Amino acid sequence: MTTTAPAFGTRLAAAVADRGPLCAGIDPHPRLLESWGLDVTPAGLERFARTAAEALGSTCAVVKPQSAFFERFGSAGVATLERTIADLRAGGAQVLLDVKRGDIGSTSQAYADAYLDPSSPLACDAITASPYLGFGSLRPMVETAERFGAGLFVLALTSNPEAATVQAAQRRGRSVAAEVLDELRVLNAGAEPLGSFGAVVGATIAGVDAAAGESLAINGPLLAPGVGAQGGTAADVQRIFGDEVGHVLPSSSREVLAAGPDPRALADAARRFNDTFRAAWS
């Protein structure tokens, strides 16, 4: 079966036009649960995640649950993740599951089936993926995304200090990051209004690799984690992305989630975040 739904890039562009560019994270970190007065237990996780989903699912264009913070609770946590995804989608948000999967062959296909096939209880609109077993290792995820109108966000220029040892490495005179971005540009060629295959580019990177700079024009979405509590600002995003800033999804988790546990306060925090970036980029 192949979906007849609009492609992820089309749905995303419409959602951002309606709700703003914020990609709000749901990261049930133990310290956040405790700051909400919740126990670090499956019951606390359920209350935290579904309260956040209630507030953000009807407010944000994109919401990004971090799978690891659910998985750490075992089967109960995964069950909560399933319900959280359903809540977010019911609210109209595009759900980007942060799983950073990367493998080969049948295992890569199994990940694709788990997260991108609508028949799966974990099905979402898009996932994060790691290309560092070779971009071709993502082919099962790419093909499954194309089949079902889903999306991928592939790690390209992340801002963790260790990233440069891989991402800035040179091959045939080009950085690994530049080649990842080139592959995404090919996948998105001709897509309108936006391709479904995005890149992850940190909002706190010191600067864009010279070989990759122009390649940020991939005709696809650009996820920019690290905004807000991690130090990234609207000015940083403008500096890094330049003319491509209109395709950027600035991502914040802790700054928005710190407004909880009141759902109205969470929704207001997300709206303020969107207003800040819209004003800075207008």
Beta strands at 197-201 and 174-175: parallel, antiparallel or unpaired: unpaired
Tell me the mean pLDDT in the region 252-281: 92
The answer to whether residue 100 is catalytic is yes
Residue 210 has pLDDT above 50, yes or no: no
Question: How far does the chain reach from its first CA to its final CA, in angstroms?
Answer: 42
**SS3 for 201-241, per residue?**
ECCCCCCCCCCCCHHHCCCCCEEEECECCCCECHHHHHHHH
Give the model's confidence band at 229: pLDDT under 50 very low, under 70 low, under 90 confident, else very high.
low
pLDDT tens digits, one per residue of 68-89:
999 999 999 999 999 999 999 9
Alpha-carbon span 223 to 7, nearest angstrom: 18
Q: How far is CA 161 from CA 71, 92, 128, 177, 222, in A?
A: 26, 35, 19, 15, 20
Give the model's confidence band at 1: pLDDT under 50 very low, under 70 low, under 90 confident, else very high.
low
Say what the pLDDT of residue 240 is: 86
Say what the pLDDT of residue 278 is: 85
Residue 139 has pLDDT above 90, yes or no: yes
> Do you know the residue count of the chain?
282
Tell me the three state secondary structure of residue 199: strand
Topology of domain 8-276, CATH: TIM Barrel (3.20.20)
How large a percentage of the chain has pLDDT more than 90? 78
Query: Which of the residues 100, 139, 174, 254 is marked catalytic?
Result: 100
Q: Which residues pair with 25 in a beta bridge?
A: 64
- Domain layout of the chain by residue ranges: 8-276
Residue 154: enclosing H or E segment and its boundaries?
A: strand 151-157
Residue 225 has pLDDT above 70, yes or no: yes
Say what the pLDDT of residue 3 is: 61
pLDDT tens digits, one per residue of 149-174:
999 999 999 988 888 889 989 888 88
Q: Positive or negative, the Cα torsion across 259, 39, 96, 208?
A: positive
Tell me the mean pLDDT in the region 202-207: 76
How large a percentage of the chain has pLDDT more than 70? 94
